[in-house]
A and B are shown apart, each in its own frame.
Chain A
Amino acid sequence: MSSGLAAPAPTLDRKVVAGFAALTLAGVLAPALPAYPLTLLTQAAIVAVLAMSLDILLGYTGLPSLGHAAYFGIAAYTVAILATERQMGLAGCLVAALLLATATAALFGVLAIRATGTYFLMITLALGMVVWGLAFRWVSMTKGDNGIAGVPRPGLGLGWSLAEPLPFFYFALLAAALAWAAMGVLVRSPFGLGLKGIRESESRMRALGYNVWLHKYLAFVISGFFAGFAGVLWAYYNGFVGPADVQLVTSVETLLMAALGGPGTLAGSALGAVAIVFLKNFVSVYTKRWLLILGAVYIGVILWAPRGVLGAFTREPRGAR
Chain B
Amino acid sequence: MDQTRVMRASVVEEASPGPATGYALELRSVSKAFGGLRAVDDVALAVRAGERRALIGPNGAGKTTLFNVISGELPASSGTIMLFGRDVTRAAVHRRAALGLARTFQITNVFPSLTVLENCLLAVQALSPVKLAMHRPLGRYADLHAHARTTLEAVGLGGRAGAIVQHLSHGEQRQLEIALALAGRPRVLLLDEPTAGLSPAESQLMAGLIKRLDPAMTVLMIEHDMDIALEIVQHVTVLHYGRVIADGTREAVKANPLVREIYLGA
Q: Is the CB of A321 within 8 A of B92?
A: no
Q: Are A192 and B134 in contact (CB under 8 A)?
A: yes
Which residue of B131, B142, B149, B161 has the most chain A CB atoms within 10 A of its CB atom?
A: B131
| Residue B17 at the chain A interface, CB threshold 8 Å | no
Instruction: Tell whether B123 is near chain A: CB-to-CB under 8 Å.
Output: yes
Chain A residue contacts of B134, Cβ below 8 A: 185-186, 189-192, 222
Q: How big is the B interface, by class?
A: 35 or more
- Select B93's contact among A188, A191, A194, A207, beta carbons within 8 Å: A207
Interface-lining segment among A23-31, A119-127, A312-320? A312-320
The answer to whether A190 and B109 touch across the interface, beta carbons within 8 angstroms, is no
Which residues A168-220 have CB closer than 8 A to chain B?
185-186, 188-194, 196-197, 200-201, 203-212, 214, 218
Distance in angstroms from A102 CB to nearest chain B CB is: 15
A191-B132, A197-B114, A319-B164 in contact; A204/B137 too (CB < 8 A)? no
Contact A211 B136 (CB under 8 A): no
Contacts of A186 in B (CB 8 A): 134
Q: Which residues of A contact B110 (CB under 8 A)?
A: 200-201, 204
Q: Is B252 on the interface with A (CB-CB < 8 A)?
A: no
A9 lies within 8 A of chain B by Cβ: yes
Interface residues of A in 211-254 (CB under 8 A from B): 211-212, 214, 218, 222
Q: How far is the CA of A318 from the CA of B164 in the complex (A)?
A: 7
Does residue A91 face the partner (Cβ distance < 8 Å to B)? no
Find out whether the CB atom of B111 lies under 8 angstroms from the CB atom of A194: no
Q: Is A1 an interface residue (CB 8 A)?
A: yes
The answer to whether residues A206 and B73 also contact, given A185-B137, A191-B134, A211-B92 and a CB cut-off of 8 A, is yes
User: How many whole Å from A314's CB to the nearest CB in chain B?
Assistant: 12
Of B19-27, B42-50, B94-102, B195-203, the segment with at least 4 beta carbons within 8 Å of chain A is: B94-102
Cα A316 to Cα B109 with chains together (Å): 22
Determine if B162 is an interface residue (Cβ-Cβ < 8 Å). yes
Verify B97–A208 contact, CB threshold 8 A: yes
A7 to B163, CA, bound (A): 12
Question: Residue A6 at the B interface, CB < 8 A?
Answer: yes
The A1-41 residues at the B interface (CB cut-off 8 A) are 1-2, 5-9
Residues of B within 8 A of A208 (CB): 94, 97, 102, 122-123, 126-127, 180, 184
Does B131 lie within 8 Å of A190, measured CB to CB?
yes
With beta carbons under 8 angstroms apart, the residue of A1, A197, A319, A321 that contacts B122 is A197
CB of B132 within 8 A of CB of A316, answer no
Asked if A196 and B167 make an inter-chain contact with CB atoms under 8 angstroms apart, the answer reads no
Find out whether the CB atom of B94 lies under 8 angstroms from the CB atom of A319: no
Give the interface residue-count category, chain A: 35 or more
Q: Interface 1/0s, chain B 102-120, versus A by CB < 8 A? A: 1101000111111100100
With A and B bound together, what is the CA distance between A191 and B184 in angstroms?
17
Determine how close the nearest CB of chain B comes to the CB of A130; give it in whole angstroms: 29
**What B residues does A214 contact at CB under 8 A?**
132
Nearest neighbor of A214 in chain B, beta-carbon distance: B132
* A189 with B137, Cβ < 8 A, contacts A203-B109, A206-B73, A321-B159 known: yes
Contacts known (A5-B146, A6-B140, A188-B138); A321 close to B162, Cβ less than 8 A: yes
**Within the assembled complex, what's the spacing in Å between the Cα atoms of A203 and B112?**
14
Question: Does residue B18 face the partner (Cβ distance < 8 Å to A)?
Answer: no
Contacts A1-B146, A205-B122: A6 and B160 contacting too (C-beta < 8 A)?
no
The winner among A209, A211, A321 for most chain B CB atoms within 10 A is A209
Residues of A within 8 A of B151 (CB): none
Beyond A190-B130, A204-B109, 17 additional contacts (C-beta under 8 Å) are A6-B138, A7-B139, A189-B135, A190-B141, A191-B131, A191-B134, A193-B125, A200-B111, A203-B109, A206-B94, A208-B102, A208-B127, A208-B180, A209-B184, A210-B131, A317-B164, A319-B167
A-B residue pairs in contact (CB < 8 Å), sample of 5: A7-B162, A205-B122, A207-B73, A207-B109, A316-B164
